[in-house]
Amino acid sequence: MTTAAPPTAIELLTYQRALFADRSRVAVACWCRQAGKDFTTAAKAVRHAIETHQDWYIVSVTQRQADATFAKCRRVAGLYKHLLKSLGEARYSDRDYDEYDREIDQHFRCTARTLHLPGGGSVTALPGRDPDTLAGLTGNVIFTEFALFPRGGYDHWRVVFPLTTRGYQVVVISTPRGKNTKFYELVAAPRTYSVSVVTIVDAVAGGLKLTDNNGEPCTIEEFKAVYGDEVGWRREYLCEFSGDLEALIKWAQLEAAAGAYREVPFDCIRIRREAGWRPGLFGCLAGGDGKWRPEIGWDVARHGDLSALWVNVRSPGCAAVLRYLVLMQDVSFALQREIVISAMDANRRAVGCGDATGLGMDSNETLHTKYGDRWQPVTFTGASKRELGSLLKTAFDDNDQLLPPLGGEHGQKYIATDLYAIQADRGGENLKLVETPNPLLPESHCDIAYAAALARKAASLSPQQGYLWVA
């Protein structure tokens, strides 16, 4: 059977046509979400297999992802077959066309997860979690979402790259993740590999049309506002290798925590350069007949960052409630200690944890000496931060932490945005916490959030009992 020219019914945008025509040994496509990288690569593989009679393999970390790209290959092959049959209708009589039609069907066959094409070439979808299963392949390879491969994709690259020594091509497509991946190394070496980076700005400029759920056109700014995730936007749509970042606590959880807040008092005071402190602020923590206690977290700072004091109280059998928040900036350690001591002394059962890293070491040693097991210093290390992050995430996963209202005249949305600013980087073997800006309180670098995490750790200093707040 004579191979026909490539089908013209497949419409590709400007940047897609460049990848479609790229015959480099290694072609790397770092494209934003929904820019058409899977479809473009599928069209590329089908056309090349028909032209050269070579085999192509779609390799992904999951069979589901490989099957998704394979389905696009079948769609392209279907268009190719349809056009060939259309040509036959104009060339042959009815009887001759029936034979031609059957011949076309025989040359486009799909068995299991392999698409057989005219001339003997094929496209096969494979799960690629184990790189050793790919060692015996002979043909061209498509790596889909390569940035998500286990162990950064390094093991897969070692096994698969030798295929190119026999003239085959490796096409690597993905949206960015962390910098500790082979995909980042490929993108960062445009002189060695053929690299294309397509952000959403590039894609729209190249002809991609953004629409809302009604099919009406929308702008990039409108789309970004609906997405509502600055960190995710930079990675998923601007193709920045910022790490495997996602919010440690989902915004919906923060809204739920604020929505469940009972009609209890909440006090927040700001102290700057010794001004603003109100002695007796914690007076309502006194009493309780031994049935409850405050749980306190103190994130320490002296200049620049905020020093934050978070005070939880808890009703019997209910979630912890944020009762006090004290934010201090450029406040002497002497006054900061006085404020923490006043909260601890307000109730003999109060417990607390403080940031003993660097400048906070001396103050925390003083508090530990004064209160013994009721006060625990915490030195911030990778391990201790992971523990604090886990405690904080668990609190909101279990609906065990309530926040004051976010909106309205007296809304405290800046507290939620500070908690939301802690991002989880899951790019390595261990979870890492990354502090991102708080748009409503720029002077905080997740200081409020870490004070909250320290209060959660303080809650575990002795067995939980039933507590109640006192107005």
The proportion of the chain whose per-residue pLDDT surpasses 70, expressed as a percent, equals 85
Q: Is the pLDDT of residue 323 over 50?
A: yes
Q: Is the pLDDT of residue 33 over 50?
A: yes
> Which of the two residues, 335 and 466, has the higher pLDDT score?
335
Q: Is the pLDDT of residue 63 over 50?
A: yes
pLDDT at 187: 94
Q: In which residue ranges of the chain is CATH 3.30.420.240 found?
A: 247-458
Q: Is the pLDDT of residue 212 over 50?
A: yes
pLDDT in tens, 411-435: 688 999 899 889 887 655 567 788 8
- In CATH terms, 247-458 corresponds, of 3.30.420.240, 2.40.240.10, 3.20.10.10, 3.30.300.90, to 3.30.420.240
> Which of the two residues, 274 and 156, has the higher pLDDT score?
156
pLDDT at 209: 92
Q: Taking residues 197-225, what's their average pLDDT? A: 92
Q: Is the pLDDT of residue 30 over 90?
A: yes
pLDDT at 440: 84
pLDDT in tens, 79-135: 877 666 555 444 555 555 456 556 656 656 677 789 888 888 999 998 767 888 778
pLDDT in tens, 337-362: 999 999 999 988 899 999 999 889 99
Average pLDDT, the chain: 84
Fold of 14-243: Rossmann fold (3.40.50)
Q: What is the pTM of this model?
A: 0.56
Q: In which residue ranges of the chain is CATH 3.40.50.300 found?
A: 14-243
Give the pLDDT band (50/70/90) at residue 9.
low
What gap in Å lies between CA 250 and CA 39, rounded to an integer?
32
Give the pLDDT band (50/70/90) at residue 76.
confident
Give the pLDDT band (50/70/90) at residue 37.
very high
pLDDT in tens, 366-399: 999 999 999 999 999 988 999 999 999 999 999 9
pLDDT in tens, 150-202: 878 888 898 888 877 788 999 999 999 877 688 988 998 888 999 999 999 99
pLDDT at 241: 83
DSSP codes joined into one string, 43-110: HHHHHHHHHH--EEEEEESSHHHHHHHHHHHHHHHHHHHHHHHHHHHHHS-HHHHHHHHHHHHHHSEE
What gap in Å lies between CA 228 and CA 150, rounded to an integer?
29
Give the pLDDT band (50/70/90) at residue 6.
very low
Q: Which of 406, 348, 397 is nearest to 372 (CA)?
A: 348
pLDDT at 104: 55
Bridge partners of residue 172, in order along the sequence: 28, 143
Percent helix, strand and coil across the chain, each to the nearest 5? 45, 20, 40
- As a whole number of Å, the CA-based R_g of the chain is 30
pLDDT at 237: 94
